[in-house]
Structures are given as structure tokens and as C-alpha cells.
């Protein structure tokens, strides 16, 4: 009987100590580990000695493996090894179901008749702001949080008007490359130019860099600071609660940071 299966594992936002106990268990069971470029390689301490590790980086630029791995190829690998009776851990940064293609991979594996287990991880949109003391939901400031991607499959922009009017903290993944259009979309939709914005690169890692700015100054300040991908953007009043970041612009909305 073929006992092959796939574990879709979330490795968290970067810091290896944010890996869940369930993820550690899964890594120890895996015969094959397909690892994304954004995953901290310290997690490999939890795999068994004989496990095969395959780099399947998927980035807008060349990653550790020297290229961006096509999604179709990754899916073929999962099916191939699982059908050989092996346990495959597909390891992703953050959570596999939050902008991690976990949903489409789960559907594909089920259609192929392969058992699949989902192992949640701390998503960057929650864990990274928290590392700077930013509560993405704080009842004194906001009534919710919206997670949104700044880079869609067809390059169709989100409905910035609806997002600006939502009254929620906006946490934007993969937004650095399109920062100019994001800022324009939100400002044109009526969001105040003075709205605080946190930009956090390499969140929770020793290489983490972050700044607090405003919506109208974000494009200039990010370029001036030399911040790049991978980064999370937090747009909303709660961004002004950040600690340990560089305050590049002083204004009334986030003057408390200077205190």
C-alpha cells in the first residue's frame, strides 16, 4: 500500500524560534523537503539525516537556487515523490494558506489522490508587525485588519477605494515593487496622506530593518533607506506604535514615537 503523503508546512516569518512544534514534528518525519527561498535554513536542524532537501525558491528575483522555480515543476515533484511512498514536506515561509499557494497545492494533491496535511505557521502579516510592537488590531485605533497582496497574478490592482474605506489596518505583502502605485491608489481613494506606514524588511531576522513614515512620504523614504524585498507594509494608525524602527518623518499622527 502506498503511504506517500504531502505535508504543507508553514515555517513562520523567519525567526526559527517561531516555528511551531507541529512543524518540527513534520520536518522530522519527512523523506523529502521542498524548501522555499524565504525559509530560514536553521529549520534544517530538525530534519532526519537521510532526508533529501530540494531548493524550490519562488521569487521575483533569483533566489538561493539561482533561479525562480516554476510552480508546475514544484507540483510535479510533490506528486512524484508521494507516489513513490515518501513523506514530502513542502515548507513555506509564513503560513501556507496566506499568500503561500497552499490552497492551490492542496487542491491539486487531492485531485491526484494524495493525502495532504496542512500545518499552519505564523504569517508574516501578524508576526512581523508584532516583532516591532505593532498590534494590527487594537480597539483604540482600528476595528479590524485586512491582509492584501501588493502583487497579483494578473497584475490587477486591489480595490484600493474599498480598502481605504474599510477602517481596518492594511497589511500588504509583496508590496515594495509596487509601492508607488499602492500609495497613489490609497491617496486617490481618500486615505489621509499623514497615515502612518511601517515598512519592515527581513522581519524577525537578525537582518531586520524597519522604518516608520507616512503614506505621502513612503516612496521617498523607502528609496532613501534602501529597503527592499522581502518586506511587509503596515498602513494605519497602529503603525505609529512601533518600537525599534527608524522614524524618518515626524508628524502629529506618529509624534508619540519621538517621546
| Burial degree of 193 (CB within 10 A; 0-12, 13-18, 19+) | middle
Together in a domain, 167 and 136: yes
Say if residue 71 is in the same domain as residue 132. Answer: no
Q: Report how far residue 24's alpha carbon sits from residue 43's, in angstroms, rounded to the nearest whole number.
A: 8
62 is catalytic: no
Highest mean pLDDT among 52-66, 142-156, 191-205, 236-250: 191-205
Q: What is the pLDDT of residue 1?
A: 53
pLDDT value, residue 246: 63
Give per-residue pLDDT as tens, 105-149: 999 999 999 999 999 999 999 999 999 999 999 999 999 999 999
Contacts 24+ apart (CB under 8 A), 46-54: 46/19, 47/89
Which one is catalytic: 78, 106, 108, 174? 174
Query: Of 96, 115, 85, which Cα lies nearest the Cα of 6?
Result: 115
Please report the pLDDT score of residue 79 as a whole number. 97
On whether both 104 and 165 belong to a single domain, the answer is no
Residue 3 known to be catalytic:
no
Global pTM value: 0.88
Domain end among 119, 135, 154: 119
* 252 burial type by CB count under 10 A (0-12 exposed, 13-18 middle, 19+ buried): exposed
- Are 111 and 98 contained in the same domain? yes
156: domain CATH number is 3.30.950.10
Task: Give residue 253's pLDDT.
Answer: 34
Whether residues 146 and 216 fall in one domain: yes
Q: How many residues does the chain have?
A: 259
Say what percent of the chain tops pLDDT 70.
88
Is 66 a residue whose pLDDT tops 60? no
Task: Give the range of the structural domain holding residue 135, as residue numbers without chain letter.
Answer: 124-258
What value does the mean pLDDT take over residues 57-69? Answer: 60
Instruction: Tell me whether residue 36 is one of the annotated catalytic residues.
Output: yes
Question: Please, is 115 exposed, middle or buried when counting C-beta atoms within 10 Å of its C-beta (0-12, 13-18, 19+)?
Answer: middle
Q: Does residue 145 share a domain with residue 236?
A: yes
pLDDT at 212: 95
pLDDT value, residue 89: 98
Q: What pLDDT, in 10s, does the model give residues 221-255? A: 999 999 999 999 999 999 999 986 665 433 333 33
Cβ neighbours around 219 below 10 Å, total? 16
Non-local CB neighbours of 45 within 8 Å, separated by 6+ positions: none
Count of domains forming the chain:
2
Is a pLDDT exceeding 90 seen at residue 256?
no
**What is the per-residue pLDDT for 227?**
94
pLDDT value at position 252? 33
- Pick the catalytic residue from 15, 37, 58, 221: 58
Which residue of the set 15, 36, 202, 221 is catalytic?
A: 36
- Boundary (domain end) residue, out of 104, 119, 134: 119
Q: Are residues 140 and 101 in the same domain?
A: no
Mean pLDDT of 182-211: 95
pLDDT above 90 coverage of the chain, percent: 84
- Together in a domain, 250 and 135: yes
* Structural domain ending residue among the three candidates 119, 141, 172: 119
Same domain, 17 and 56: yes
Q: Do residue 98 and residue 156 come from a single domain? A: no
Regarding whether 202 and 131 lie in a shared domain, the answer is: yes
Q: Are 246 and 132 in contact (CB under 8 A)?
A: no
Q: Is the pLDDT of residue 56 over 60?
A: yes
Residue 165 pLDDT exceeds 60: yes
The CATH number that applies at residue 94 is 3.40.1010.10
- Tell me: do 143 and 246 sit in the same domain: yes
Q: How far is CA 69 from CA 64, 79, 100, 109, in A?
A: 11, 16, 14, 18
Q: What average pLDDT does the chain have?
A: 90
Amino acid at each position: 500500500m502506498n503511504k506517500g503523503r504531502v505535508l504543507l508546512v508553514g515555517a513562520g516569518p523567519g525567526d526559527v524560534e517561531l516555528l511551531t512544534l507541529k512543524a518540527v514534528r513534520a520536518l522530522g518525519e519527512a523523506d523529502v523537503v521542498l524548501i522555499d527561498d524565504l525559509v530560514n535554513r536553521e529549520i534544517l536542524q530538525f530534519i532526519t539525516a537521510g532526508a533529501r532537501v530540494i531548493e524550490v525558491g519562488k521569487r521575483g528575483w533569483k533566489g538561493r537556487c539561482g533561479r525562480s522555480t516554476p510552480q508546475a515543476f514544484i507540483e510535479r515533484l510533490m506528486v512524484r515523490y508521494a507516489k513513490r511512498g515518501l513523506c514530502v514536506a513542502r515548507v513555506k515561509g509564513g503560513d501556507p494558506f496566506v499568500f503561500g499557494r497552499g490552497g492551490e497545492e492542496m487542491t491539486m494533491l487531492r485531485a491526484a489522490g494524495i493525502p495532504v496535511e496542512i500545518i499552519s505557521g505564523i504569517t508574516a502579516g501578524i508576526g512581523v508587525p508584532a516583532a516591532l510592537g505593532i498590534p494590527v488590531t487594537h480597539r483604540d485605533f482600528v476595528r479590524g485588519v485586512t491582509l492584501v497582496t501588493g502583487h497579483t497574478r494578473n497584475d490587477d490592482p486591489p480595490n484600493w477605494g474599498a480598502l481605504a474605506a474599510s477602517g481596518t489596518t492594511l497589511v500588504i505583502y509583496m508590496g515594495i515593487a509596487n509601492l508607488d502605485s499602492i500609495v497613489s491608489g490609497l491617496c486617490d481613494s481618500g486615505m489621509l496622506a499623514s497615515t502612518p506606514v511601517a515598512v519592515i524588511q527581513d522581519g524577525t531576522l537578525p537582518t531586520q530593518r524597519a522604518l516608520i513614515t507616512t503614506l505621502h512620504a513612503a516612496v521617498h523614504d523607502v528609496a532613501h533607506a534602501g529597503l527592499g524585498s522581502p518586506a511587509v507594509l503596515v498602513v494605519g494608525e497602529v503603525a505609529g506604535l512601533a518600537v525599534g524602527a527608524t522614524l524618518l518623518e515626524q508628524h502629529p499622527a506618529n509624534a508619540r514615537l519621538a517621546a
